[in-house]
Amino acid sequence: MKRKRKRIHISPNSLFVDLYIVQHGHEQCDFSHSFGPILTHNYLFHYIVSGKGRFFQPDNSDGTELTSGQGFLMPPDTICSYSADSDDPWEYYWIEFNGIQAKQSMKLAGFTDTQLIYTPRTDNKIEEIAHIFADTLETNVNNEYLLLGNLYQLLDALIQNSSQQISDTRNEISNVYIRRAIDYIRDNYQNDISVADIANHCNLNRNYFTRLFKAELNLTPSQFLIKYRLNKAADLLMNTDLSIQCISEEIGYSNQFNFSATFKKHYNFSPFDWRNKHS
């Protein structure tokens, strides 16, 4: 009888915006193990290395049986669920990620709003993809550059071996505006900037800009600005001896208590406890 095995690695911080890993792991499921229904906030991809199970999405209540070499995507703001087979439960790797390029990368791999199942074009790269997942799991979560390289390598392998692979159809216009906005945030996050300031920098109406930004990143500009500032704060807490007051001012918060409350809401730790945990 198979015994359940599970490993999870959570990335403590991310200073990247194009692509970044939130968490990743490996699981050998128990018989009939199920998960969901759940609404995800990032892109969550499972890759099956053995066994089988069923994946359920909103338009398919009966589910689709999947097996070794296949995978399934749980995109942001979509309710999905899955369950392992009762006789031959699956073993899979999974990775949760996001970023400006996440949506486009999934499109290139053949995923759409309704097509959430990954099927390989050939069996040639099945073992290679599994090795990339395994290497990623062995990588220190604090080595973000190496983790990012693994993510790019994984996405490339998925795209190249997808039976639904499509040509690049990215929306260059929206991409330019989003990059311009993020560049502005990178240069000015430490100042008292607003969504209106960012929209004005892009020469766009605030409401239109907010819709465009949310459609690309699944975050509002305000949410992205907060996330960016807090990621900077987490990095400073781990890698400097600056006081919490200095760090709050460094990332654009004039009130240390507001900063501490926002940080704890995002990371589930106070800045002080975060520093003690990761230093």
Residue-wise pLDDT for 206-221, tens only, equals 999 999 888 878 789 9
Same domain, 233 and 116: no
Same domain, 9 and 109: yes
Per the structure, how many domains does the chain have? 2
Determine the length of the chain.
279
Task: Check residue 84 and report its DSSP letter.
Answer: E
Same domain, 133 and 14: yes
pLDDT of residue 13: 53
Same domain, 13 and 120: yes
Q: What's the rounded mean pLDDT across residues 85-97?
A: 93
pLDDT of residue 3: 45
- Please check whether residue 116 lies inside any domain of the structure: yes
- Please check whether residue 39 lies inside any domain of the structure: yes
CA separation, residue 234 to residues 2, 73, 146, 225 (Å): 40, 29, 19, 14
What whole-number distance in Å separates Cα of residue 108 and Cα of residue 115? Answer: 12
Same domain, 14 and 46: yes
pTM of the model: 0.70
- Please check whether residue 167 lies inside any domain of the structure: no
Same domain, 156 and 37: yes
Confidence of residue 171 (pLDDT cuts 50, 70, 90): low
pLDDT of residue 147: 85
- Please check whether residue 83 lies inside any domain of the structure: yes
DSSP E strands in the chain: the ranges are 5-10, 20-28, 34-39, 43-50, 52-57, 60-67, 71-74, 79-84, 91-98, 117-118
pLDDT of residue 8: 57
- Please check whether residue 166 lies inside any domain of the structure: no
Contacts of residue 26, Cβ cutoff 8 Å, sequence gap at least 6: 5, 6, 7, 91, 92, 93, 94, 133, 134, 137
Same domain, 203 and 153: no
- Please check whether residue 126 lies inside any domain of the structure: yes
Same domain, 113 and 49: yes
Same domain, 105 and 241: no
Same domain, 117 and 248: no
pLDDT of residue 48: 94
* % of the chain residues with pLDDT over 90: 41
Same domain, 128 and 216: no
Confidence of residue 74 (pLDDT cuts 50, 70, 90): very high
- Whether 28 contacts 3, CB under 8 Å: yes
Same domain, 91 and 149: yes
Domain that holds residue 250: 172-278
pLDDT of residue 201: 93
Of 117, 133, 160, the position where a domain reaches its end is 160
Of 92, 127, 160, the position where a domain reaches its end is 160
**What CATH number does residue 124 fall under?**
2.60.120.280
- Please check whether residue 165 lies inside any domain of the structure: no
pLDDT of residue 2: 44
- Please check whether residue 214 lies inside any domain of the structure: yes
Of 132, 160, 188, the position where a domain reaches its end is 160
**What CATH number does residue 205 fall under?**
1.10.10.60
